[in-house]
Amino acid sequence: MKTNEELLLDRTIKYDKDTSPRVGDFLLLPNGEYDRFTYKGGNHLQTGGICGSYYLGNGYETYSGSLDRGIKLVDIEFADNFKTGKVWFFNHDIARAHNGVYFEIKQRVYKLKHNADISGLDFGHSHYWLTVTTKEQQEQHRYKYLIDHHGTSVTAFNNKQDLVLWLGSKGLELSNKSIEENIYSSQELTKL
């Protein structure tokens, strides 16, 4: 039986044989942030994969998570740069629940060409959402405020002071400054 490190090496060598932009590679966005490619179809790559999961197969990566509309291949070029990205596969190649092992591998970085059509890219948003719970929900779950990121719960707070401190530590703020206590509402958090 191969070790996980041997499996990683074999899969990475096969994956790197593909010289085109691949699922898992990074895209440098106009605001200086990075996104990852999530799906490749024909002449088009979808993005939106900073918070999802990348499975490293034999010569490919697949993505599980949210997507945006993406960008055409003709609108990007290799940036002569690399960045590490997290991937996973099954421990000792045995597929079963709770048996994933995680590694970081070298991924290519691509940049936008001049005058690229970026209308399908979703950047500049925090992708963090605040949900204010009702009194009944608070009694059941024991929190007033819930934060999620790309649909995944991140943290929860019982008071506004702790919420505001956390927002400041993440460089975020409320898009709607007024929060009514005990009334269900949801809002996207904005970057400072």
User: Distance between CA atoms of 189 and 170, rounded to whole angstroms?
Assistant: 11
User: Distance between CA atoms of 59 and 17, rounded to whole angstroms?
Assistant: 8
**Residue matched to tokens 């925090």:** 126
- What is the reported pLDDT for 150? 66
pTM, to two decimals: 0.71
Structure tokens belonging to residue 99: 């048996």
The identity of residue 36, as a single letter, is R
For the chain, percent of residues with pLDDT exceeding 70: 96
Are 188 and 128 a contacting pair, CB within 8 Å?
Answer: yes
User: Distance between CA atoms of 45 and 25, rounded to whole angstroms?
Assistant: 10
pLDDT in tens, 84-143: 999 999 999 999 999 999 999 999 999 999 999 988 887 766 678 889 988 888 888 889
**Widest CA span of the chain, in angstroms?**
59
Are 189 and 179 a contacting pair, CB within 8 Å?
Answer: no
Q: What is the mean pLDDT of residues 62-74?
A: 89
Cα of 112 vs its chain's centroid, Å? 19
**Residue matched to tokens 């691949």:** 22
For the chain, percent of residues with pLDDT exceeding 90: 59
Q: What is the mean pLDDT of residues 6-34?
A: 95
Locate all alpha helices (DSSP H) within 57-157, ordered by sequence: 135-141
- What is the reported pLDDT for 154? 84
User: Distance between CA atoms of 7 and 88, rounded to whole angstroms?
Assistant: 11
